[in-house]
């Protein structure tokens, strides 16, 4: 069994450490803040041996260089990570396997937020690390990709087993919930979840990780095919409905 430790980082990021007690290996999912990651490792008594990057953005790969320098850890990530000055030791693409001791993660291409964004999925542990592709009740901004690409990416995540636990990289859920309620106001599961999110955030508790089944019931981006009719796009392809919802979210105040 792997141990997963999540902690708040920077303004609204989460740091995530994954530890394999058997081999003693520890990986950080992305590197939002090198000092915070080293402090979290020290508090746990874990030694950082790997970095798994999801995409090149500074709040995800900005700590690679100092962590590499201080620990000599092995960096795995998409080729685009070299855009911020430190190429991964191992560049991976969809279909590749990444190891933490005996545990194996599959790389899934989830491009859209950035072109080369990847997710790591550990089937045996029922857990996925999705960076800024899918958020609780949201998804990443489409900075580099196209609607069809991003929709394909989200569809791959939606096709994982319903009970998959997903770790995303930001605590954006409360504001995502407001938007979700505006486009999907009659969704009872969403209303219930929005109340739960209010309660959690008022108690300063995280809403991450999330469970895929709940996301499929309540996340307006995953529900694009269902929300189509409401948007007056009943005959449009799913990715166009997704694109419309993404655009509405970009302009939502
Ligand atoms: Zn990002
Ligand atoms: Fe981010």
Ligand 1 centroid to residue 113 C-alpha, Å? 7
Provide the residue range defining the domain that includes 96: 3-250
Ligand 2 centroid to residue 57 C-alpha, Å? 7
Q: Which residues surround ligand 2, an ion (CB under 5 A)?
A: 59, 132
When divided into structural domains, the chain yields a total of 1
Bond into 21 cis (ω within 30): no
pTM of model > 0.85: yes
CATH number at 13 reads 3.60.15.10
Query: Which tens digit of pLDDT belongs to each residue from 178-234?
Result: 999 999 999 999 999 999 999 999 999 999 999 999 999 999 999 999 999 999 999
> Mean of the pLDDT values across residues 134-145?
98
Which pLDDT score is estimated for 86? 84
Ligand 2 centroid to residue 192 C-alpha, Å? 27
Ligand 1 centroid to residue 56 C-alpha, Å? 7
Identify the bridge partners of residue 124 per DSSP, sorted by sequence position.
none
Ligand 2 centroid to residue 64 C-alpha, Å? 15
Ligand 1 centroid to residue 52 C-alpha, Å? 14
pLDDT band at 253 (very low <50, low <70, confident <90, very high): confident
Q: At what angle do helices 64-71 and 34-44 cross, to 10 degrees?
A: 40
* Residue-averaged pLDDT of the chain: 98
SS3 state of residue 21: coil
Q: Which two tokens stand for residue 80?
A: 């685009």
Q: ∠ CA 225-252-137 to the nearest 5 degrees? A: 50
Ligand 2 centroid to residue 230 C-alpha, Å? 30
Query: Which tens digit of pLDDT belongs to each residue from 143-175?
Result: 999 999 999 999 999 999 999 999 999 999 999
Cα–Cα dist 128/95, whole Å: 15
Ligand 2 centroid to residue 59 C-alpha, Å? 5
Please give the radius of gyration of the chain, using alpha carbons only, rounded to the nearest integer: 18
Half-sphere exposure of 14 (CA within 13 A, CB side): 27
Provide the CA 249 distance to its chain's centre, in angstroms.
18
pLDDT(136) > 90: yes
Ligand 1 centroid to residue 6 C-alpha, Å? 18
Which pLDDT score is estimated for 194? 98
pLDDT(247) > 80: yes
Which pLDDT score is estimated for 4? 98
Query: Which tens digit of pLDDT belongs to each residue from 1-52?
Result: 999 999 999 999 999 999 999 999 999 999 999 999 999 999 999 999 999 9
Which pLDDT score is estimated for 31? 98
Query: Which tens digit of pLDDT belongs to each residue from 56-111?
Result: 999 999 999 999 999 999 999 999 999 997 889 999 999 999 999 999 999 999 99
């Amino acid at each position: 069994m792997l141990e997963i430790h999540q902690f708040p980082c920077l303004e609204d990021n989460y740091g995530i450490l994954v530890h394999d007690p058997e081999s003693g290996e520890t990986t950080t999912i992305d590197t939002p803040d090198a000092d915070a990651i080293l402090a979290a490792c020290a508090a746990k008594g874990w030694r950082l041996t790997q970095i798994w990057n999801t995409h090149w953005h500074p709040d995800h790969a900005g700590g690679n260089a100092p962590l590499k320098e201080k620990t000599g850890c092995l960096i795995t990530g998409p080729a685009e990570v070299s855009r911020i000055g430190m190429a991964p030791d191992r560049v991976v693409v969809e279909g590749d396997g990444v190891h933490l001791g005996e545990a194996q993660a599959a790389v899934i291409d989830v491009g859209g937020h950035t072109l080369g964004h990847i997710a790591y999925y550990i089937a045996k542990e029922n857990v996925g690390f999705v960076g800024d592709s899918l958020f609780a009740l949201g998804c990443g901004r489409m900075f580099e990709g196209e609607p069809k690409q991003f929709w394909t990416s989200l569809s791959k995540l939606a096709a994982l087993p319903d009970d998959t636990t997903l770790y995303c990289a930001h605590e954006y859920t409360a504001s995502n919930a407001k938007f979700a309620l505006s486009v999907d106001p009659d969704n009872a599961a969403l209303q219930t979840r929005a109340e739960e999110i209010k309660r959690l955030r008022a108690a300063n508790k995280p809403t991450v990780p999330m469970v895929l089944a709940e996301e499929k019931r309540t996340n307006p981006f995953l529900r694009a095919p269902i929300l189509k009719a409401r948007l007056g796009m009943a005959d449009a392809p799913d990715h166009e409905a997704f694109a419309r919802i993404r655009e509405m979210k970009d302009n939502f105040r």
